[in-house]
Structure formats: C-alpha cells, structure tokens
Amino acid sequence: MADLLQTPIEYLKGVGPARGQLLRKELGISTYADLANFFPNRYIDRTRYYKINELNQSNAEVQIIGKIVHVKTVEQGKGKRLVASFADDTGQMDLVWFQGIKWIRESIKIGVPLVVFGKATAFNGFYNIAHPEMELLTEHEQSLRTALQPVYPSTETLTNRGISNRTVNKMMQQLFLETQANFAETLPEQLLKDAHLIPKKAAMFNIHFPKSTEVLAKAQFRLKFEELFFIQLQLITKNLIRKHKIKGHPFKQVGKYFNDFYQNHLPFELTGAQKRVIKEIRNDMGNEAQMNRLLQGDVGSGKTMVALMSMLIALDNGFQSCLMAPTEILANQHFKGLSEMATGLGINIKILTGSTKAPDRKIIHEELENGSLHILIGTHALLEDKVKFHNLGLAVIDEQHRFGVEQRSKLWKKNDIPPHVLVMTATPIPRTLAMSLYGDLDVSVIDELPPGRKPIQTVHRYDANRLKVWKFIKDEIAKGRQIYIVYPLIEESSKMDYKDLMDGYESISRDFPLPQYSVSIVHGKMKPADKDAEMERFSKGKTNIMVATTVIEVGVNVPNASVMIIESAERFGLSQLHQLRGRVGRGAEQSYCILMTGHKLSHDSKTRMETMVRTNDGFEIAEVDLKLRGPGDMMGTQQSGVLNLQIADIVRDRDILAHARNFAFEILKDDPAMQKPEHATMRQVYMELTRKKNIWNYIS
C-alpha cells in the first residue's frame, strides 16, 4: 500500500499531466500520499436544501434543487456575462458567469434537475448566484457525499484553470476508491488506547468525508495529535542524543573571578529569578554534556548580568567566552555594558564587528589565539574562519531567531569540543511555542524585574486628545526628562510613512520651538554616521525629543528618557509595541507610554491597545499576540506559520501539543531507541520522517 501512495499524482484517474503539473506547482502535491494529506481548511453544512422563496439576505452559501429554464448572454462594458434563469416550484432566480462563458454555455442542459450551490446575493429583491457549483441531481445522489462538505485551500491560478473545490473533491473520491482507504496505522496500539485516538484509516476517511461533526472532531484530534507527536519525538530524541553524545567542558570550578564579582562588584542585589537561572546554568556547565539553554527575559530583566556571571564561571575554569549580537548597535551596547560591569576584575574584553579597523583586528586575532583575550563581543564577524579561539568554552547568542541553526553550529566548530551555548531573547515566547521551536534547548526564564524599577504607566489616547498629550510632554521636559515619539515605518521605502514622519517632525518642531526645546530625528534614509550623531546628542541630553521610526526598537539605552509616544499605534504588532515601550523605564523615575490612535479601530487593534494598557508582562502579551497573529509572524518570519504543519496549529492546539509531548516523553523514557516490537511501525515512520523532513524543515 505504501508503494501505491507514492504513485505520481498524474496517474490518478481525472488528473493527467497538465493538472498534475498545476497541483505540483501550486499546492506541492506530487503523489497520492500528498493528496491524501491535503486537508480541508473548513467545512460547509450541505444537509439542508433551500427553496428559492426561503432565501434571505443573511444566507451564506445555499444549496437548491431546480432546473435551468432559459439562458442568455448579456453584453456589458468591455466584456460579456452569461445569465441562466433557474427555477424551482416556489420561484425563480439567476445564475451568473463572468468567465469561461463559452464552455459553460455548451455544458448547460435545459430542463434537467440540477443541484446548484453558491452564495446567494439579492439585487432589488431578486436573487442570483455568481459562478455556482452545479451537479446533475442523479450524480449528486450517487456521489460519496457527506453532510459536511470539505472546502480545500486553493489559489487564484487553480480557480482560473478550472480546478474548483468540486474538482478537488472528485479527485479525493477517486483516490479513496483506488486506494480502498487503506492507510497503515502509524501509532502503537497502547498509545491509541491511552490517548483515546481513533485508527488512522478512520481518521483519514472522516477528515475528507465526515458524516457528522462528532466524527470530524475525532478525526481532526487524531491527525493533529499524530503530527505533533512525531515532531515532539524528534525534538526530545535530538535533546537526549545531544546530552549523551555531545560532550561539553565540565566547568567544575566556581573560583576567584566569579566570587570576587559577586562579593565586591555587584551593582545591585540579584533578583530571585536571576539567582535561580544562574543556578540552572551552573548545573548545566558543571556537567559532562554540552549546555544548550534558552534564556528568556523581558526587556530590562537583567539578562546581560546573567551572561556575564556565566562567562566568569568559564574564565574560572580557564576558558574564553564570546557574545554574538545581530547588529553593531547591540554589539556596542553589550560591549559598553559588560566592560562597565567588569571594571576592576582585570579581564580583557574586546569587540569585533564589520567596522573594526585592520590593526585592531590583528591584535584581537593574536590575543584570541594565545588565550590572553578573555571575552570577545561581536556580530556575524565572529563566525569568519579567520577568527580562531585558544579555547572557547561558552558562546552567548543574543536575539536567537535572527541567527539560523547553521550559524550556531558554525560557532561550535571553532573547537574540538563544542562550547556551552546560552541563547538570550528579549522577545518573550509563550512556553508552548518555545517547546516546539526550541525543543532542543532547555528553557530558563527571568520573570521578575530588578528592584527599584517602577512599572511603566501605559495609556491609550485618541488623536483628538493631542493638546493634552503635548501639555503633558512640556511638563515632563520641564522636570528635565526626555521624550521619544515613534512613527510607524512598515517598509523603509514607503513614501506615505516617510511623509507622515516628516509632517510629524515639522509640526512637533513648531509646537516645541528653539531655543527653548531641541528636537532630534532618526530614520532609515539617513546615513549611518548621521544617525549615530543624532542618537549621541539625544543620549547626552542635548535634545529633549527624539522623533524616530522603529530604528530605535533595538538597543537604545537612555535612562533619562521617561516618555514613549507611539503614533498610529494601531499599525504596530503587540510585540513591537512592547519592545518600544521597553525603551523607557530604564531610570528610577516614573515612566509613561502613550499609544496614539485614530478613532476607527478594528477589533484586533482594540485588543492590542487594551492588552498594552492592562499589563507590562511580556509573557502575557506574547500569549495574546500569538492568539491574534498566529505563530508565523510572531517569530519575525512572514511564512504562514513558524511550523509548516499540515493540520495542527500550535496556537489553537496547544493542549494537544502538551498532551502529545507527554506521551512522546513517556515512550522514550521507557524505550529511548524505540526498539521494542510494539514500537516497530512508529520507529519506521519516525525514521522516514527524519530522513525526509528534518525537524528544522518544519521551522521556517
């Protein structure tokens, strides 16, 4: 049977070479198996047949039995439309076509009982359906029809080339006839019992031809569980293998560098969360296995401090560390921050980026190789082959989702024994998503802010309240504070956003005139040097207001800036709003974030504003963001989903995910290599998947 499912799709009756090529190109369907796993994205209730006199404006899609009594072609503007009068025993309506007119006209049979299906719309009380699905009543009664009609994902090209939903339906019926719905079971019998799952064969049949919502729900649950279960098997196995196979450097010592810093140089008392996380990292690095840990913490929660203390443990054991950041601004900021924290410890810290001058590079390369350079901070420049360490023991990577998995492995190859890896992210990722995306990493969370930080007060104001907001800014400036005003710039090139920014800047300059006030501006079209100069003026307190696009989202630290105003806040995503808000609240003063919007807000925009006003908790915000946007956008990838899944959705199906993960864990705990006879098919499917679809292929 498995072989039959590998048959190329063009051999299915009714497909052929031309359609086969289209299905491959548009939907990635190459084989019978691909078609079987092409799941509907919604279902329409086709149990009800309407009479024409029952139609009303609120009808969505309707199904009517009747006959075509008359056909005519109507000239209109540049083209034509085909109109057929369709009647049943209660009245008459029109069926209308704008495309494929010649072919449809030839295929229409007058006076023969038909079932038509489509969206009914009224014009002056008279109903019509544009481009209806039509089927002879005799065929309709014989087809593998179900109460719930599946609707499959499609593309414009397919629709234009005559591959309608009904065509896909017919292909599916043909497929199930040819294969006798003979799908092999992939899960162990005991698991089916324990997890209350229906057999694979029943699930596949009922997902495409459900007789009721109950059987459909069971089929969906079974197939979602299976998909998530095999991904979790891969992730957990990967993690276990790594812990067994990939040896790390065991850092047994916690010595003079760490203790000196902890006792004499700590700028402030560590929070409970920081202490807990440092303990987790110490345990990991003390083991024989290589550490691979994700450190999540909100903006300002003290991740850099944890990174430094981890580097000091490496140093106490005679090893070097590096910290890699995605941009030069961030790398410079880390360099500044770590150098300040490490003052008086006698540590050699240097920075390497694209703009490091050749003579400085030479010194860095030499010191790295002879071991006198203890900590190196930098951008992608650290990955260059020329960069050779004496003995790299710990690699800290900031903002991981900007670094691919391949880049992580490049860092590993700098040594015979790979360094311990600590990945830091300030984008809080809900636990379920972290489990799936970073299933091969252990997760540590810093979930409290350092003492003395006042929570930022956030308010939502409409454009009509602008005068009051301006008065508030003037009062804050009078107290010696500084202000950010951020405009959305969705693409650096979009002219309208740029115009909004410049108009905004001009009106702010009028309302806050020289010499009493001074306004800076930073945007993507400026030269890097000019940008840096403006940033510098602002951070030194020479300007009161910084008008900017989102370039300030990452890596600006001005403790004296206490107000963040976000213009057209409805155009930003939640995580962006939260990141921007994190630019203030860095000093001891009370800070504010003001979200400015127009009056017309969509439901999602309202939810975003309410969430921002209600909470400062990045994890809570990430949960809401995930529900609103789905996992794809969340990680900054614009794919349809972070995980390229066929049926499951890790947001909506998070409970099934946790459920599947637990079962995967239990099975592997008992039988890590899946060698037991009852796990034979599961192992086979697992091996097949790993060969074809490595776990990283799921992650876009």
d(CA 401, CA 635): 7
Q: Report residue 38 as tokens.
A: 């092409």
For residue 620, which of 574, 656, 664 has the smallest C-alpha distance? 574
Instruction: Give the model's pLDDT for residue 698.
Output: 43
Handedness of CA 233, 236, 241, 244 (dihedral sign): negative
d(CA 496, CA 490): 10
pLDDT of residue 642 exceeding 70, the answer is no
For residue 224, which of 197, 205, 201 has the smallest C-alpha distance? 197
d(CA 536, CA 600): 37
Long-range Cβ contacts of 621-629 (<8 Å, 24+ apart): 621/428, 621/574, 621/575, 621/578, 622/427, 622/428, 622/429, 622/430, 622/574, 622/575, 623/430, 624/574, 625/573, 625/574, 625/575, 626/430, 626/433, 626/651, 627/651, 628/574, 628/604, 629/573, 629/574
Q: Strand, helix or coil at 230?
A: helix
pLDDT of residue 254 exceeding 70, the answer is yes
Instruction: Give the model's pLDDT for residue 68.
Output: 96
- Sheet with 482-486, strands from edge to edge, namely 457-462, 592-597, 561-566, 482-486, 545-548, 519-522
pLDDT of residue 316 exceeding 60, the answer is yes
Q: Which residue has the tokens 């006198």?
A: 372
What is the enclosing helix (H) or strand (E) of 114?
A: strand 114-123
> What confidence tier does 488 reach under pLDDT thresholds 50, 70, 90?
confident
Are the CB atoms for 511 and 545 separated by under 8 Å? no
In sequence order, the 6+-apart residues with CB closer than 8 A to the CB of 636 are 401, 402
Q: What's the rounded mean pLDDT across residues 382-390?
A: 89
d(CA 177, CA 170): 11
β-pairing, 133-136 with 292-297? Answer: unpaired
What single letter denotes the amino acid at residue 328? E
- All structural domains of the chain: 53-143 (2.40.50.140), 256-446 (3.40.50.300), 457-615 (3.40.50.300)
Instruction: Give the model's pLDDT for residue 317.
Output: 96
Q: Strand, helix or coil at 36?
A: helix
Residue with more model confidence, 297 or 207: 207
Q: What's the rounded mean pLDDT across residues 154-165?
A: 85
> What confidence tier does 640 reach under pLDDT thresholds 50, 70, 90?
very low
Are the CB atoms for 648 and 658 separated by under 8 Å? no
β-pairing, 61-76 with 114-123? Answer: antiparallel
- Angle between the 603-614 and 618-634 helix axes, to the nearest 10 degrees? 150
pLDDT of residue 619 exceeding 50, the answer is yes
Instruction: Give the model's pLDDT for residue 352.
Output: 94
Q: CB-based burial of residue 566 (10 Å sphere; 0-12 exposed, 13-18 middle, 19+ buried)?
A: buried
Residue with more model confidence, 108 or 57: 108
Q: Strand, helix or coil at 548?
A: strand
**Poorest-confidence range of 90-99, 302-311, 481-490?**
481-490
pLDDT of residue 168 exceeding 90, the answer is yes
Give me the DSSP letters along 479-503: TT-EEEEE---SSTT-HHHHHHHHH
pLDDT of residue 341 exceeding 60, the answer is yes
pLDDT of residue 645 exceeding 50, the answer is yes
Q: Report residue 192 as tokens.
A: 């089916």
> What confidence tier does 436 reach under pLDDT thresholds 50, 70, 90?
low
d(CA 541, CA 559): 10
> What confidence tier does 606 reach under pLDDT thresholds 50, 70, 90?
very high
Instruction: Give the model's pLDDT for residue 634.
Output: 41
Q: What's the rounded mean pLDDT across residues 499-506?
A: 87
Residue with more model confidence, 492 or 33: 33
d(CA 9, CA 30): 5
Convert 348-372 to b/e letters by CB count within 10 Å (16 or more is b): ebbbbbeebeeeeeeebeebbeeee
Handedness of CA 226, 231, 234, 239 (dihedral sign): negative
Instruction: Give the model's pLDDT for residue 494.
Output: 64
Measured between its terminal Cα atoms, the distance across the chain in Å is 31
Q: CB-based burial of residue 24 (10 Å sphere; 0-12 exposed, 13-18 middle, 19+ buried)?
A: middle
In sequence order, the 6+-apart residues with CB closer than 8 A to the CB of 215 are 206
Q: Report residue 607 as tokens.
A: 């939810």
Instruction: Give the model's pLDDT for residue 556.
Output: 63
Q: What's the rounded mean pLDDT across residues 654-675?
A: 90
Residue with more model confidence, 376 or 498: 376
pLDDT of residue 364 exceeding 70, the answer is yes
Looking at the DSSP bridge assignments, the partners of residue 293 are 422, 442
d(CA 45, CA 685): 35
pLDDT of residue 204 exceeding 60, the answer is yes
Q: What's the rounded mean pLDDT across residues 422-444?
A: 72
Q: What is the pLDDT of residues 524-554, one digit of tens each?
A: 778 878 888 888 889 889 999 999 886 564 5
pLDDT of residue 469 exceeding 90, the answer is yes
pTM of the complete model: 0.64
What single letter denotes the amino acid at residue 523? H
Q: What does DSSP assign to residue 447? A: -
pLDDT of residue 355 exceeding 90, the answer is no
Instruction: Give the model's pLDDT for residue 547.
Output: 92
Q: What is the pLDDT of residues 17-28, one digit of tens each?
A: 999 999 999 999
Q: What's the rounded mean pLDDT across residues 224-236?
A: 91
Q: CB-based burial of residue 698 (10 Å sphere; 0-12 exposed, 13-18 middle, 19+ buried)?
A: buried
Are the CB atoms for 617 and 430 separated by under 8 Å? no
CA–chain centroid gap for 374, Å, is 36
Instruction: Give the model's pLDDT for residue 635.
Output: 41
What average pLDDT does the chain have? Answer: 86
> What confidence tier does 180 reach under pLDDT thresholds 50, 70, 90?
confident
Looking at the DSSP bridge assignments, the partners of residue 123 are 126
Instruction: Give the model's pLDDT for residue 639.
Output: 32
Instruction: Give the model's pLDDT for residue 563.
Output: 96
Convert 393-410 to b/e letters by CB count within 10 Å (16 or more is b): bbbbbbbbbbbeeeebeb
Instruction: Give the model's pLDDT for residue 534.
Output: 87
Q: How many C-beta neighbours within 10 Å does residue 266 have?
A: 12
Q: What is the pLDDT of residues 264-282, one digit of tens each?
A: 998 888 999 999 999 999 9
Backbone angles phi, psi at 134, to 5 degrees: -130, 145
For residue 402, which of 301, 312, 331 has the smallest C-alpha distance? 331
Q: Report residue 623 as tokens.
A: 């949960």
Instruction: Give the model's pLDDT for residue 402.
Output: 54
In sequence order, the 6+-apart residues with CB closer than 8 A to the CB of 477 are 483, 512, 517, 544, 545
Q: What is the pLDDT of residues 69-107, one digit of tens each?
A: 999 999 887 888 999 999 999 999 999 998 888 888 988
For residue 522, which of 500, 502, 495, 544 has the smallest C-alpha distance? 502
Measured in residues, the chain has a length of 700
d(CA 37, CA 61): 26
